Structure 1
Amino acid sequence: MPSQVTSYFRESEWNIVRGYRSELKKLQHLPTEELNQIAEEWLTDSGLKTSYHHGDSSSLYAIMHASRGEDTEAMVLSIPWKTSDGHFNLGGASIGMALGKYFNRMSIWSKNIIIVFTEDSHKSLRQWVEAYHTSLDKTAGSIEAAIILEYNGESDHFDYIEMWYEGLNGQLPNLDFLNTAAQIAYHENIHVSLQNTPGEKVTLNTYKQRLKVFVKGIIGLCLSGIVKPINGAESFSGWSIQAVTLKARGIKGPNDITQMGRVVDSTFRSVNNLLEKFHQSFFFYLLMSPRYFVSIGTYLPSAVLIAVSYALSSLSCLLNTNVSISSFLNSISQVLIIFTSIEFACFLTANLLPFLIFRTVTDDDKNNLVTLIIVGFSTLNIVLSTPFLWKSKYLRISSKLSYSLISFSLFFISMVITMLLILNFSLALLIGLMSLPLTFIQPILKSIDIQPSKSIESFPLMNYLNTMKPHLKLFICLFVSNPIFIIIVTGSSYLGDNGVYNLMTNLITSWNDLQCWTWYIVMLGWFPAWLTISFACLLGKFDFITSSKKLQ
């Protein structure tokens, strides 16, 4: 049980940590390959078997085979040379080396322990995890749990621990594993922070603070894998591995560096006592604090109601425009041809843009290409959000077909949200909320007479303004529900400097780097529906429709 045994990683190990730290401080400017060679010598001297994985960067890993185990299960301690903040992981690497020596002296282990040194906790760690399950010759059994340790700086003390747990594509580690690490930290009198909560607010347990952590957790889970720096736990997603990142914050707090080692040691000892895999408790939850969470039965109905609202809006789009179900079914072949064509174009775009980015040679070329992509999508958003300015007299489709396209698109969004409910609740919820203005398109179109039967000069000013109100509403609904608008707002307000560029770049390259599917969900789920509705508004023949006049 967590915190029920005494960890002996104490003052006797402090000098060992300091020794490794003083040596690593001299070597911190060396490239990763040379750091790995030196670390390999130290790990070998501690009695561990080492090996390499050569991907885009070299990764070193050492295996300690359990004396009491069957060599079929393992736990991972991941030490990135660079922290997620871009600093040299001096304290983390020192603790990792000392823990390797400490673990090998104990005879209690029934699971193997793997210590991994990678260049960072992003692509290089992800490549090692994939190679471990596919191509590495030296392995140590299935990985049950992983801890990514970050402790930058050379201070002997720190203020609190920051915990990161979000996985890729909505995946979360078992709540028991997080509770174990948090309980052990509290037993060591260490406060635990979630979602970048600053030190002075870590101990707050107010409604406002819990709500803030809750909302930031939803956003963080939605952006997991597409916002750098990532914190390491994402790299273990997809392999049924419970992973958490523990990051030391501050340099003058009451907690010492050996306490960080005891948190890792005690957590591993708790996992070591498991007789079976993590399969009970919660895998679907939203944390409000390290001690409080919202279960799936409480939060899932909110996204279900949003999906239902799109389905009802789809039905309303037909019934309130006097398009009978039989007429809709008669035109379904045209609807499917148009929507499939748009979907295919989006599919080509979704695959072409990552290909072009990875083909760039220099950073300047990459910057120019991403900037061009942002400008292109923004221009398309502006053009298609103002259909009353670009109406063609020749290329037009009937109102019946236009409303049928809008209805089908709304139903398509409903299906996308429904499919994502369990897989990635946060992404489903945010797509549903961000696309919600599209449900107001049909009532707005019903009030617009876009046929140029009267000249603007014949309208009094107030009559002209009243006439333009529906057009303005239509523009706002289309403009703010476009994915590129959400990307720009999120990048500029939530991610700071160069946030829009970084978010767009990471979104496009996330599948190739981490197998994060957010880019394809946006491009094949959200964006085609928006495009179809925009084209329906642009090409449709809309008149004032009364209840007594049926669409032909």
Structure 2
Amino acid sequence: MALAETVLRKIHKLGLIPKIIKFLPLCSFLLAVSSILYLISLPMDGNYRNTYISENALMPAQVTSYFRESEWNIVRGYRESITKLSDQDVSSRNKILESWLEQLGLTTSYHVNGFANDTLYAIMHAPRGENTEAMALVVPWATSEGKYNSGAMALAMGLARYFTRMSIWSKNIVFVFPPDSRKSLRSWVDAYHTDLDETAGSIEAAVVLEYDETLGDYFEFIDMFYHGLNGQFPNLDLLNTANVINYHENIKVSIEGIDNKNIDYTTRLLTLVKGIISSCLTGLTQENTNGCEEFSGWQIQAITLRARTKDKGEEHRDITQLGRVVDGTFRSVNNLLEKFHQSFFFYLLMSSKNFISIGTYLPAAVILAVSLAISALSAILSIDRNEAISNLSFILRTFTYVEIVCLGLALSIPKLVATSEGDQVSAVSLLVLSSLGFLSVGSIFFKKRLSKTITFSLISLSLLLISLLITALLIVHFSLALMIGILVLPLTFVPTLMNQFTGQDFKDKAYIGTIICLIVSNPFFVVLTAGNVLGNGSDLFEGLVLAWNDLQCWTWLVVILGWFPCWIVITGCFMFYKIDIDELLKKKLQ
């Protein structure tokens, strides 16, 4: 006790507490910078790990696949027939495909989704199974890029014919042929687990296959996609299994579209950054909808394999090699006696051979959350705490009103966008921004102003809530938590800039700086700007709003009920803030 009393007296004598409070904004900024520096240091040697197979039962590439030259002409014949169907509608194609599948002895059925063409699927019952477990091979009629998926269709038919001649299967195999790899596939997955009559048991793993009509007989490499909805990833063992089989087939694998010929710090960093962005945008844009994410939420490990060709002069692989990759992957999954559980479910890939686990990358978002919390502490310590407590009911009531308004927006905007045309979607976005701009201008003429105590209390609470939001998202959706943390960083400068106001007009640099911080941290501004940068225009906004109803992706709810209310409150505090003249005079005298 004596030692503690001595230390406290020394602190009080040196005036350390006011000095520490003064440096809190700088501390918050340095923490934010250190978070970004930590993130970009992860691809350095020693911070990442090499991929490996955790589940010994998978035994990838331990058997010889006989899907070779003997099946070449079969696949080519199917492809020629399927190519001739390109001018027909999906229902007509499905009827022909159904007849082929029935000739092979498969059980066929349809899922009527009610909003697009029906989804055809076929079940191959395992000769050694108990009809309780299954694997799925998904081949949409149109690739995620909108091209005719004739090569993958032919390959699926060739594999179906090949699989039926084998007696090794202990798990059923489901062949799914949706019109597209987005809403139609998601509808089938939901229906499979709820109300479909023909099912094949619990689906352990799924492979979505894309081989468009422009590739011909050969391809150069495979693009592998693994991101799921709401931050979910498939078990790392499934990706590693496919990678090992690709290696034995001498097929190059690309992650996030990054060439893995020369893996160095730059390519690892680029893959990491693109992976984080892709995870945030999965299900929101057409470019980030690859099919595997539609299985999220049902404990199904899913990946997408897309055949690619970039350099015509490169040595190419034939289509049957991709078939052997699917065959080998299914054989490995067929060996499992239980669900995937050994390897990682939380990870970020930096190449097909390197990854970082959750314990390594998590501190980057944690530091951002601490940075926001310190900024909130700095704001609340700059005012009279007793007066803040006396206004607590008003502060909480204000937040409640704002949250109710945002809840109304969360429910009404999706309905408005769903019933609007493309041009009208842009109008809806601009309407929201215009309304906020109108409120900003109108506040200048509004006579009632907020005191510094109420203003900084509301700002502090807003920053604290964003910090808690990031903390809550850390594990379940690290990428979204990190992106929100980075994008709201300008809000941490607002209380510091408002303390430097010398007037509330455009002659004051701090006033202009606050406006800039508020604009660049507005979620709608960020979404529309990102949409234009990505070349999607208002498509990103539309995908964000509709993703919850279509795919059960809750990014929209996080933005409109978490990020946006806090931004509204901080913006309102800025608009209705009343400068204390006496305090301003004291600052000028000092």
Q: Could you tell me the TM-score, scaled by structure 2's length?
A: 0.86
Identical aligned pairs, as a percentage?
A: 52
Deviation at 1:424, TM superposition (A): 0.5
Secondary structure of residue in 2 paired with 1:145: strand
Equivalent of 1:417 in 470, 481, 487 = 470
Match of 2:432 in 1: 377
Match of 2:131 in 1: 71
* In structure 2, distance between residues paired with 1:13 and 1:376: 57
Matched, 1:106 2:163: no
Equivalent of 2:388 in 312, 325, 328 = 328
Give, as a single letter, the amino acid of the residue that structure 2 aligns with 1:119: P
Match of 2:230 in 1: 169
Deviation at 1:500, TM superposition (A): 2.3
Matched, 1:529 2:566: yes
Equivalent of 2:457 in 397, 401, 404 = 404
Q: Render the CA deviation track for 1:519-547: whole Å, top value 9, x for unaligned.
A: 11100000110000000111121236379
Match of 1:461 in 2: none
> 2:260–2:352: 8 Å Cα contact kept in structure 1?
no
> 2:109–2:120: 8 Å Cα contact kept in structure 1?
yes
Equivalent of 1:347 in 407, 411, 420 = 407
> 2:145–2:286: 8 Å Cα contact kept in structure 1?
no
Deviation at 1:250, TM superposition (A): 1.5
Match of 1:474 in 2: 514
Match of 2:217 in 1: 156
Secondary structure of residue in 2 paired with 1:107: coil
Aligned residue pairs: how many? Answer: 521
> 1:446–1:543: 8 Å Cα contact kept in structure 2?
no
* In structure 2, distance between residues paired with 1:392 and 1:280: 63
Deviation at 1:450, TM superposition (A): 3.4
The aligned runs of 1:444-463 (5 Å cut-off) are 444-450=497-503
Task: Give structure 1 stretches of 5+ with no counterpart.
Answer: 361-365, 453-464
* In structure 2, distance between residues paired with 1:378 and 1:39: 49
> 2:210–2:306: 8 Å Cα contact kept in structure 1?
yes
Deviation at 1:380, TM superposition (A): 4.2
* In structure 2, distance between residues paired with 1:543 and 1:407: 19
Equivalent of 1:96 in 124, 135, 156 = 156
* In structure 2, distance between residues paired with 1:397 and 1:374: 30
The structure 1 segments of at least 4 consecutive aligned residues displaced by more than 6 Å after TM superposition are 546-549
Task: Give structure 2 stretches of 5+ with no counterpart.
Answer: 1-58
* In structure 2, distance between residues paired with 1:266 and 1:116: 19
Deviation at 1:315, TM superposition (A): 1.2
Give, as a single letter, the amino acid of the residue that structure 2 aligns with 1:49: T
Matched, 1:302 2:364: yes
Give, as a single letter, the amino acid of the residue that structure 2 aligns with 1:248: A
> 1:165–1:245: 8 Å Cα contact kept in structure 2?
yes
Secondary structure of residue in 2 paired with 1:134: coil
> 2:205–2:302: 8 Å Cα contact kept in structure 1?
yes
* In structure 2, distance between residues paired with 1:380 and 1:412: 24
The aligned runs of 1:22-421 (5 Å cut-off) are 22-55=80-113, 56=115, 57-153=117-213, 155-197=216-258, 201-229=259-287, 230-250=289-309, 253-320=315-382, 322-324=383-385, 326-360=386-420, 366-382=421-437, 390-392=443-445, 394-421=447-474
Q: Render the CA deviation track for 1:247-266: whole Å, top value 9, x for unaligned.
A: 00018542000000000000
Q: Render the CA deviation track for 1:350-381: whole Å, top value 9, x for unaligned.
A: 11011122234xxxxx1232122221233245
Deviation at 1:270, TM superposition (A): 0.3
* In structure 1, distance between residues paired with 2:346 and 2:537: 30
> 1:382–1:479: 8 Å Cα contact kept in structure 2?
no
Secondary structure of residue in 1 paired with 2:474: helix
* In structure 1, distance between residues paired with 2:377 and 2:406: 26
* In structure 1, distance between residues paired with 2:486 and 2:558: 15
Q: Could you tell me the TM-score, scaled by structure 1's length?
A: 0.91
> 2:417–2:428: 8 Å Cα contact kept in structure 1?
no
Give, as a single letter, the amino acid of the residue that structure 2 aligns with 1:420: L
Equivalent of 2:548 in 501, 511, 525 = 511
Q: Render the CA deviation track for 1:60-83: whole Å, top value 9, x for unaligned.
A: 100011111111110000010001
Q: Render the CA deviation track for 1:298-319: whole Å, top value 9, x for unaligned.
A: 1101111111111111111011
- Closer/same/farther in 2, CA of residues 185 and 451 from structure 1, 3 Å limit: closer
Give, as a single letter, the amino acid of the residue that structure 1 aligns with 2:239: L
Deviation at 1:475, TM superposition (A): 1.1
Give RMSD over aligned pairs.
1.8
Q: Render the CA deviation track for 1:134-167: whole Å, top value 9, x for unaligned.
A: 0101101111000000001261110000001100
> 2:107–2:123: 8 Å Cα contact kept in structure 1?
yes
> 1:76–1:113: 8 Å Cα contact kept in structure 2?
yes
- Closer/same/farther in 2, CA of residues 280 and 333 from structure 1, 3 Å limit: farther
